Amino acid sequence: MMAVVVLAFSSCKKNVNQEQAGIRFSGSTEAFVVEDGENRAYVGVNGGDSWFEKDDQIMVWNVNSEEPQKTNYGIYWTLNAGTDVPWKYSSGTVINHTGKEDRILAFYPAEIVNNARLWDGDNEVMFEIVDHQTYRKIGNSVVLPKLTLGMAADENITELVDDVHFHFKNIMGVLRLDMKSASGKTVTSIVYEDKVFNVTGRVHLKIDKVDTEVLTNLLNNYDPTNATYMASLADYIAESGYYVDDAHVAMKGKTITLDCGDGVTLNANTPQTFLITLRPLAAWGGFDITVNFSDGTHAQFGTTANNVIKPNRMRQIPVNNVDLYLQ
């Protein structure tokens, strides 16, 4: 769960009086890759992948590695929706950065970041992944549950803080269930349970030690049978100060529930899509799915096969008739 460096919970209230103050930033996103067997395709904005919505929040740190007390952060709001948008300062310990420290890091979404140990814990930041997500649509498109997609950007080139443009990378992955029902069942919730890894909890990391390129490489090449690889992974974990514990809103565990509200009705011909955001390495050893219906029945299915979730990858699982799995 060290991969989820962009996730945690704290409330970031918008301060209208401060909205016009401070420097401006901007950022762009990347498109998800859908994996379905040997086929891969990039998902556009209308397909439910990564983009900014209006008034989304981004956390920006100006990090001093040697003297954490000089590290500052600002919370910024997106001015409009899109994949490449400007931001405006809202709140935080800095209004105008006086100059770049060692690194400038940006994380989305800011609402789930907890900076309580930023100065006392040597640039330690807490990120909380909760065990509940909410199904939603924008227009006719099913999109990722709010505040679950983690994106990170790292600016090491410029010496100037003003007008930095961040290129965000998706750190999380997605399980996509495309389901049909011969009897027209209505889905009220879907429960994902991992067979190996914890997928929720409060993640601790020292943000000045985070290297997204090294981390992505480690995740994409995960091999617990390779001693050299495991030694490299252990070194990275130790260096980054990574560990996971429980919090009052994020208990460490293997289960995530997707709440479908009043329900999503399935049919026999056209699949309905459900998206669950997951940490990288989830489903590496398989998973179990429980689909709860409005009539009080439920269906269960799962696998022990490796369907590993990777950063910026959407793992597609078709279920042609969920009625076959009724319990």
The Cα angle at residue 164 between residues 159 and 170, in degrees rounded to 5? 120
Among candidates 199, 61, 197, 202, which has minimal Cα distance to 127? Answer: 202
What pLDDT shows up at residue 50? 67
What pLDDT shows up at residue 317? 92
The Cα angle at residue 314 between residues 3 and 322, in degrees rounded to 5? 120
CA distance 205 to 5: 7
pTM for this entry: 0.83
Reduce the DSSP state of residue 33 to 3 states and report it: strand
Q: What is the secondary structure of 151-194 as a DSSP string?
A: EEEEE-S-S--TT-EEE-EE--EEEEEEE--TT--EEEEEEEEE
What pLDDT shows up at residue 250? 84
Alpha-carbon torsion angle 6, 107, 156, 119, nearest 10 = -80
Domain-by-domain residue ranges, the chain? 16-325
Place of tokens 């509940």: 132
Cis peptide bond upstream of 109, omega within 30 = yes
Note down pLDDT in tens along the chain; length 327 residues: 444 433 332 223 333 333 334 445 666 666 677 765 444 443 443 344 567 888 888 888 888 888 888 888 888 888 888 777 788 877 877 655 566 677 888 888 888 888 888 888 789 998 888 999 999 988 888 888 988 888 888 766 555 555 677 788 888 889 999 999 999 999 999 999 999 999 999 888 898 887 767 877 887 788 899 999 999 989 988 888 888 888 878 899 999 999 999 999 999 999 999 999 998 899 999 999 999 999 999 999 999 988 899 888 889 999 999 999 999
